[in-house]
Amino acid sequence: MDITVIGTGFVGVVSASVYASLGHSVYGLDVSEEKIKKLEQGKVPFFEPGLDALVQKMIAAKSLQFTTSYKHAIQHASVIVIAVGTPSAPDGQADLSYVMQSAESLAPFLKENAIVAVKSTVPPGTCQKVRQVIQQHCPHSQYFVVSLPEFLREGSAVEDTLHPDRVVIGATEDFAIDVLKKLHTPLSDTILVMTPESAQMAKYSANAYLATRITFINQIANLCEANGANILEVIQAIGQDRRIGTHYWYPGLGYGGSCFPKDVKELAAYARSVSMEDNLMVTISRLNEERIPKIVARLRKQLGGFEGKTIGILGLSFKPNTDDIREAPSTKIIPFFLHEGAKVLGHDPLAKEVARSYFRDTILVEDDKASVLANADCVCVLVEWDEYSTMNPQEIVKLMKKGAVLFDARDQWKKTDFTGLPIQYVGIGV
């Protein structure tokens, strides 16, 4: 099958290379010549485990090509996947302009019976809008517009796409459903067909639910801090209830990354647009944003202010196994320290270069975590990278200044491991 994926960000490159690995002939299309030039040489402009190798293998097999030409990439395609960004507009709703631009640009070259699948995260009603735009620029009316939401996680995007928990197809026409089912059958036994609106709601709801779960456990962690309970023991106990489970609710500095903060706000804005002014998502988003200032207040008290102090940050990415720092805790907590007169040293196993260009010369990104541990008055371990969590407490304390604060934002160690050692341990909900 000839497939074109529009947009060469995370979702686009992963989807294109996975479709190619199934034996299809795939084009990755983007308006950025710079990105396409790199991708043509097999260079993926971001880190994702296994993706470089897969892209290079598919290029060598001639199953995957990249282009900036709509005509070239669309005229033979049976399935066109739109995977461009949908940043939040100022009112919090999804800004659909890249989706609509893609629809307008592809329309003149669309062959008959082609399927345009919207993979970008978009609110209900978007497929109709895409159809209207295509209608204005396409010489015929024999095409399909469907929803094909994406559920992959960064850091395991290739694995998630090769072995998804489910594939959701939001379509009503049998032809489109059959083609998309055939395309995804090698990837999953669970292919769910529903209306485009249900598919779009499924995508937003999945992310909003997970974000709610994280926000809930962070709230419970706050209460544990107030009364001496230990959040990890609480999670263990409630998790035994099979309806609840122990997975996916580790407390921390709040959810970050390119999806949850944006998707929760977009769902909140969508709810407002249909007259649900006072909705849960508004509260979740606000609580998540309040999380870092509250933790900063706790550290400020512990350190007696940040003026003249050196703060070390271990973990600059938004989570392990990625160099993505979008909405990372580091990007939100560091400005507080700098603003209040501290010097900041940072380290990350993978995101050093990305962080250096983001923070410029406001912080010093060290190549070696030992320099951060040795020179800081307060070391904040923000991300659960293996490189940090495998260090034992004695090893950490040996490197740190006497009396310094160790802020363990992911509860990677136990508070009791540091009893009697010459540092002050601060965890979350313990």
Nearest to 350 by CA among 377, 378, 375, 314: 314
Report yes or no: 348 and 316 within 8 Å, Cβ to Cβ: yes
CB of 205 to ligand UDX, least distance (A): 11
**Does 259 participate in catalysis according to the annotation?**
yes
Nearer to ligand UDX, 312 or 329 (CB): 329
Q: Which of 127, 138, 224, 259 is catalytic?
A: 259
Instruction: Provide the 3-class DSSP secondary structure of residue 152.
Output: coil
Query: Encoding tokens for residue 93?
Result: 């709703």
Element (H, E) at 4: strand 2-6
Instruction: Give the strands of the sheet with 405-408, arranged side by side.
Output: 364-365, 343-347, 310-314, 378-381, 405-408, 424-426
Nearer to ligand UDX, 44 or 59 (CB): 44
Spatial CB neighbours of 422, under 8 Å, sequence gap ≥ 6: 397, 402, 403
Nearer to ligand UDX, 10 or 109 (CB): 10
Nearest to 118 by CA among 136, 97, 103: 103
CB of 150 to ligand UDX, least distance (A): 6
Q: How far apart are CA 18 and CA 7, in angstroms?
A: 15
Element (H, E) at 116: strand 114-118
CB of 426 to ligand UDX, least distance (A): 17
Q: What is the residue whose two structure tokens read 């909003």?
A: 208
CB of 233 to ligand UDX, least distance (A): 16
CB of 165 to ligand UDX, least distance (A): 9
Residues within the interface to ligand UDX (CB under 6 A)? 150-154, 207, 210, 214, 248-250, 252, 255-257, 259-260, 318-319
CB of 146 to ligand UDX, least distance (A): 18
Secondary structure (H, E, C), 201-228 = HHHHHHHHHHHHHHHHHHHHHHHHHHHC
Q: How far apart are CA 357 and CA 234, in angstroms?
A: 40
Nearer to ligand UDX, 17 or 215 (CB): 215
What are φ and ψ of residue 236, in 5° steps?
-60, -45
Nearer to ligand UDX, 267 or 397 (CB): 267
Greatest alpha-carbon span in the chain: 77
> CA gyration radius for the chain?
24
Q: How far apart are CA 78 and CA 66, in angstroms?
A: 17
Query: Encoding tokens for residue 424?
Result: 């002050």
Nearer to ligand UDX, 74 or 210 (CB): 210
CB of 179 to ligand UDX, least distance (A): 23
Instruction: Provide the 3-class DSSP secondary structure of residue 287.
Output: helix
Which residues are tagged catalytic? 259
